[in-house]
Structure 1
Amino acid sequence: MTVQFFVERWAAWAPGLCDQAAWRAWLRQPHTILFQDEPALLEMPAMIRRRVERLGRVALQATYWGQGEAHPCPIVFASRRGDISRSLQLLHQLAIGEPLSPAAFSMSVHNAIGALYSIATAHTGPYTAVAAGEETIEAAFVEAIGQLVDGESEVLLVYYDEPMPAPYDVFQDRPEFARAMAYRIRLVESGGCSLQAGPTVDRLGDRDEPTALPSDLAALKFLVSDGDSQYVHAVGARRWVWSRHA
């Protein structure tokens, strides 16, 4: 059985890319982003905002924009690495024997950004934090779609990531930049998109090229454009197929 979903609303933030028109232009002709600015995040109360560092601001800005004025719904937060810069700082403090800050530790866990959003907005609905390596964007959509199938009318999915800090940057497989995207999705009986997983088939079209966009950006390009009818993301023995339905 194929479950089809529709992106009711989407928003994304990256340095220099603050609206849908800018994102669509960049996705047509991706180029290196060198800016280091961060969103103002004026929607969040200042007393809470002061606890949020760069990656959190990026993720929360997309969350506020993706939520807009719509009624609250369950939220799935997803990130391949989370706030790895903060985690690295904590590891460094451990290595040199310094005491760890409880506040810094509490903000390093994968569900911290969702918790801050819940406090700031008094949103008491379900929250989920997802991390699944190279398949994080697919795992997040599987989680969101599962909640829809289970009876939720809409789910807000927020994906965020940033470049790997030194010395972990040697493991980064392609150029990256701080970014976040939010999708408000619902199920549809016809049209929309679907996501399915299966074994990898040894065909050229099923392989990621070394210069390809990160999977979250490739998924964004597929979901917000009217171009390709299918996007394939092969990871190890698994093959994720994103399809667009007429």
Structure 2
Amino acid sequence: MKCELVILEWAAYADGLVTRDEWLAWARGPAQLPAEHVQQVPALSDMPAMMRRRVDRLGRLACQVAYWCQQVAGDVPLVFASRYGDAHRSLQLLGDLVQQQPLSPTGFALSVHNAVAALYSIARGDTRNAVVVAGGRATVTAALVEAAALIADGEPEVLVVCYEAPLPEHYAHFQDEHNCEFAWAWRVTGAHRGSEGVTVLLQLGEETTDAAPLPLMGRPEGLAVLRQVLQQIGKVGGDQVLVRHERPGVCARWSAHA
């Protein structure tokens, strides 16, 4: 299977990486993760105050990059992607159950996987569909396939938002890749529309021998793919292909060109 999309607009946020110049410099440098936690969480001033107070720190990262990408865009379908979402809220609810405390209806509503996308769309008054995906290590792959399907079905553009954070300490046993707090957003369209931008090509097929399987604690797919794209935006790295074995038997090959 092959998906080809053009990135019309992009934004990203991590610790010490906010502006485009900072992200492009990161892509040119050694392949390393940003700091585990963001020291300065975005103020999210674009969102109304009564709505903003419901958004946690990871949600603020996701909503901020979405606002930056949609400042001048119309009402478009949303694809939000996160492997674990806000696991901290879910863990807090479980703790309340153990202590036989009553559960907060608001806390429960904000713990579900589509809460961030819902808050963003409600705050903006968006009425288009919002899809939230979680696909393990292949979460970004799932998001881009979903966006490609929407475009193939006739949508002119789709906003894709990827956001992640390390698991809480109680879930650390399940952490199988190094991670940090980050979020990025792409406004994408179909490559067949002839729009200018960076073209991302995702090819899914059976496992090949051109790359070893990912180590147990590899880099998260979201940052690996983002780095691949930013290298093309910054015109460094040549026409390299990023090969990822996110699931047994399946190989994902990512390439990009300006």
Q: For the superposition of Structure 1 and Structure 2, which TM-score range results when normalised by the shorter chain?
A: over 0.9
Match of residue 203 from structure 2: 196
SS of the residue aligned with 1:192? strand
Match of residue 177 from structure 2: 174
CA contact (8 A) 2:3 2:145 kept: no
CA distance in 2, matches of 1:187, 1:40: 33
Match of residue 95 from structure 1: 98
CA contact (8 A) 1:194 1:243 kept: yes
Match of residue 80 from structure 2: 77
SS of the residue aligned with 1:167? helix
Match of residue 12 from structure 1: 12
1:42 matches 2:53:
no
- TM-superposed deviation, 1:3: 4.1
> TM-score if structure 1 supplies the norm length?
0.92
Q: Which amino acid aligns with 2:124?
A: T
CA distances 1:124-176 after superposition (whole Å, capped 9, x unpaired): 11110101111100000000010001100010000111111111123223332
Question: Kindly tell me: are residues 53 and 245 of structure 1, through their superposed partners in 2, closer, same or farther at Cα, counting changes over 3 Å?
Answer: closer
Match of residue 255 from structure 2: 243
CA distance in 2, matches of 1:193, 1:78: 17
- TM-superposed deviation, 1:102: 0.4
List structure 1 segments (4+ residues) > 6 angstroms apart after TM superposition. Answer: none
Q: CA RMSD in A?
A: 1.9
CA contact (8 A) 1:206 1:239 kept: no
CA distance in 2, matches of 1:181, 1:132: 17
CA distance in 2, matches of 1:68, 1:45: 15
Match of residue 122 from structure 1: 125
CA distance in 2, matches of 1:51, 1:244: 37
Q: Which among 193, 208, 213 is matched to residue 207 of structure 1?
A: 213
CA distances 1:187-226 after superposition (whole Å, capped 9, x unpaired): 123782221211112x262422456421110010112222
CA distance in 2, matches of 1:17, 1:53: 19
Q: Percent identity?
A: 42
- TM-superposed deviation, 1:18: 0.7
CA contact (8 A) 2:244 2:253 kept: yes
CA distance in 1, matches of 2:15, 2:128: 30
Q: Which among 187, 190, 196 is matched to residue 187 of structure 1?
A: 190
- TM-superposed deviation, 1:245: 5.6
Aligned residues: 245
CA distance in 1, matches of 2:217, 2:25: 19
Q: Which amino acid aligns with 1:155?
A: V
CA distance in 1, matches of 2:2, 2:55: 39
CA distance in 1, matches of 2:2, 2:168: 40
Q: Which among 32, 35, 59 is matched to residue 33 of structure 1?
A: 35
Question: Kindly tell me: are residues 204 and 211 of structure 1, through their superposed partners in 2, closer, same or farther at Cα, counting changes over 3 Å?
Answer: farther
Q: Which among 153, 162, 166 is matched to residue 163 of structure 1?
A: 166
CA distance in 2, matches of 1:223, 1:170: 31
CA distance in 2, matches of 1:198, 1:109: 32
SS of the residue aligned with 1:198? strand
Match of residue 216 from structure 1: 222
CA contact (8 A) 1:41 1:57 kept: yes
- TM-superposed deviation, 1:7: 0.7
SS of the residue aligned with 1:142? helix
CA distance in 1, matches of 2:64, 2:35: 18
